[in-house]
Amino acid sequence: MFSESHLEDQHLFVRVFEQAPIGMIIGSPNGEFSKVNSSFCNMMGYSKEELLSLSFQAITHPDDLELCQSAFRRLLHGEFESYQHEKRYIHRSGEILTAILSVSLVRDEVGKPSFFISQVVDITEQKMKEDELKRIEELHHLIAEHSQDMIIRFTSEGVLTYVSPAVRKLLGYEPEEMIGKNGYDYWHPEDRDNWLEQGSEESRKAIFRIRHKEGHYVWQESLAKKIRNDAGHIQHVIGVCRDVTERRNMELEIQQIQKRHESLLECTHVGVCAINMEGRFIEANPAYEGIIGYRLMELTQMNYKELLFPEQLPNAENKLSALLDSEYIDFETFMKHKSGKRVEIRTTMSPIIINGEKVGVSFIVTDITEQKQNEELIRRSEKLAVVGELAAGIAHEIRNPLTSLRGFVQLFRSEDTTHTKKLFYDVMLSEIDRINEIVSELLVLAKPSNETMALGSIPDKLNEVVKLLEGEANLRNVVIRNDFDDDLPLIQCQRSLKQVFINLLKNSIESMSTGGEIWIRSERQGEKICIQIIDQGCGIPSHQLSKIGQPFYTTKESGTGLGLMVSHRIIQHHRGMMRIESEVGRGTAVEIILPLSHSGACHSPIFVD
């Protein structure tokens, strides 16, 4: 009879056996199963009845059978009381399971084997992970040992724990020489400090200098990644380093070349720009910005066609097409400044070719506006000289006969007591006076002025001219307004300067057939005085504006074209400058700039915009 405590122990054992989370087996000394728990059945895929009909040999992997039988025999012979080893089982489905088997033998009172108890823990998933990790480690080791790049492993403090053999070729060290040392000790101090100051990302890429065994530094490109354990702590850091000395030196050389190129573009007075194949600006130096009036930021948003006048577009496209068959093309043209005015340029354009492919066009641009104006001044001066010579001959040949003709016409008119021919005589006298006026203007062109210079007030002269022409302005419904700076200084000038103001103001009044306003302004600009006469007249077309000031060219039906030439000659004698801007339908603005000091050489071109 069993005691009550023995029965309780037996009942407890049965509960533990059945409810254990690991597989448990009770078997006979001959290897047959006497009892199996549910965990083992679930592990193997069999029912209890099926397992109890099998021996352990039937569910053991053939390759592990000899090991298991040998260990079991030694257990039976009393060499040890229990054993544990890794073992593979065959699942009912045929899959292979890996488990840790622990076997203990229970003997009776006389020491004879009674039964064995086995505990089976399924480690299949863990084993698979270990095998996979082992394969990865073996692969990593294979790669590290044979890679041309140096592979290192180090602690979070930088202590090297592994260095691949590639270090021999890259840095001249044996791996054993570096293992156990701090890798940052080999870095160039500047690069090390920059690296440590940048922070600590999980994965970092850097280019730095590292000391070779011979003492010089070589450039390395490195990618480092932190490896953390399940608790989130850094186990180690893996780094892959590649020698980029040659590439880095090339990059530094390219940077130096680029800096020299940028410096050259920044400092040169010649405009340089580039466009891509779509015609959009991709580059422009400060000189080009100054020529065209746009900043680079503005230009990069523009197409080159926006800087051309409509009539230029066909020729520009032809030039670009012709560039396909040429290394470069030189030509003179003009462009539209940001202000809208025309800028004369000389340019050389050449293709931008990269890897044999044309990717854009570069331009070298020189502003020749002033040169063109000087050339125009020379041409006009030559014309003035010709006109002067012609005027001298005509004036002397015509003036004396005119005097006689006028005298006889006056005599005939006085003898006409009936006044039947008075109208004819008046017309003849008027035309003779007109001819005489033209001759007088020709004489002005024929010889330099011999008037003396004297201090005069520009506002006073302008006010006198306004009073003189105020009546004519009122007849045409024109209002003349003025805006003069206070305390403008007196300047050295001739009385003929007043004639310039008369000519210009008279032209403005005559251009305003429907009335309007004329503004006369005078202000000081540094060492110069600027006079502006701005009307709201009909304006002058651009194709005519460029001819204003040429001998005998006029836009008025009854004009001679000599008034502006005379004005130009007077302004030139005052060492000044005259500029004319006009737009059809909006009016004309004439600007005269006179120096406060009359000394020094100066030319007086007429600028038209």
The CATH fold assigned to 129-249 is Beta-Lactamase (3.30.450)
User: Within the chain, which residue ranges are assigned CATH 3.30.450.20?
Assistant: 4-122, 129-249, 268-367
How many CB atoms are closer than 10 A to CB 474?
Answer: 13
Q: Choose among 332, 333, 330, 336: nearest CA to 291.
A: 336
CATH of domain 268-367: 3.30.450.20
Span 475-483, average pLDDT: 89
Q: 552 vs 225, 372, 564, 573, CA distance in Å?
A: 86, 22, 10, 21
Q: Is the pLDDT of residue 609 over 50?
A: no
CATH 3.30.565.10 intervals, the chain: 454-608
CATH topology of domain 4-122: Beta-Lactamase (3.30.450)
Residue type for position 217: Y
Which of the two residues, 298 and 552, has the higher pLDDT score? 298
Alpha-carbon span 68 to 60, nearest angstrom: 8
Residue 221: phi and psi, rounded to 5, are -110, 125
Q: Round to whole Å and give the CA distance between 511 and 406.
A: 32
Residue 384 in this model has a pLDDT that exceeds 70: no
Mean residue pLDDT across the chain: 82
- Distance in angstroms (rounded) separating the CA atoms of residues 475 and 480: 12
Query: What are the tens digits of pLDDT across the range 496-548?
Result: 788 888 888 888 888 888 889 999 999 988 888 999 999 988 888 877 766 66
Tell me: pLDDT of 232 over 60: yes
∠ CA 512-518-519, nearest 5°, is: 160
Which tokens go with 302?
A: 């523009």
Give the separation between CA 469 and CA 479, rounded to whole angstroms: 11
11 — pLDDT class (breaks 50, 70, 90): low
pLDDT value at 151 more than 60: yes
pLDDT > 70: percent of the chain: 84
SS3 per-residue string spanning 85-126: EEEEEECCCCCEEEEEEEEEEEECCCCCEEEEEEEEEECHHH
- Architecture of the domain defined by 377-446: Orthogonal Bundle (1.10)
Q: For 283, which DSSP code? A: E
454-608 maps to which CATH number?
3.30.565.10
